[in-house]
């Protein structure tokens, strides 16, 4: 999804930070919903994921998913899948590619992902 006139400008990553990219169109739509519903929390999530996508130790709001959701495939690579809790229901799920320093957003939304229901 290439930006076009009228689109929101994404900030460049900080030196040593990770680049955040959408892995799906649904994640891009959900991101916009999160930005509208909880802009400050979403910005905090962005900054946190960009600077430290895999915190050690993980927190209750920011942790790797478990069991079959712990990893997923993107671009032919199996990558760890993490979750950031933006609001009580809002979630961001992303894959971390340490080789390219990229976080691929698989889900962003104002409600729990259906995979957890």
How does the average pLDDT of the chain come out, rounded?
93
Residue 20: pLDDT above 90? yes
- pLDDT at residue 74 in the model: 97
Q: For residues 106 and 34, what is the distance between their CA atoms, to the nearest angstrom?
A: 14
Instruction: Read off the pTM.
Output: 0.92
Residue 50: pLDDT above 80? yes
Residue 66: pLDDT above 90? yes
Cross-strand bridge partners of residue 28: none
Sequence-distant (6+) residues with CB within 8 A of 103 are: 18, 19, 20, 21, 49, 50, 53, 94, 95, 96, 97
Q: Average pLDDT, stretch 34-45?
A: 96
Position 4 confidence tier, pLDDT thresholds 50, 70, 90: confident
Count Cβ atoms within 10 A of the Cβ of residue 108 and give its class: 0-12 exposed, 13-18 middle, 19 or more buried. buried
- pLDDT at residue 33 in the model: 95
Q: For residues 97 and 13, what is the distance between their CA atoms, to the nearest angstrom?
A: 15
Cross-strand bridge partners of residue 92: 84, 108
Domains by residue range for the chain, with CATH: 19-112 (3.30.2310.20)
Residue 43's φ and ψ, nearest 5 degrees, are: -65, -40
- pLDDT at residue 117 in the model: 59
Q: Average pLDDT, stretch 93-116?
A: 92
């Amino acid at each position: 999804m290439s930006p076009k006139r009228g689109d929101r400008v994404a900030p460049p990553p900080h030196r040593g930070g990770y680049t955040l990219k959408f892995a799906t169109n649904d994640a891009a739509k959900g991101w916009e919903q999160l930005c509208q519903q909880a802009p400050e929390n979403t910005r905090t999530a962005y900054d946190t994921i960009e600077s430290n996508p895999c915190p050690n130790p993980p927190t209750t709001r920011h942790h790797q998913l478990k069991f079959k959701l712990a990893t997923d495939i993107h671009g032919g690579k199996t990558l760890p899948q993490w979750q950031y809790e933006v609001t009580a229901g809002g979630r961001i799920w992303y894959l971390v590619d340490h080789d390219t320093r990229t976080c691929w957003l698989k889900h962003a939304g104002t409600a729990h992902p259906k995979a957890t229901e």
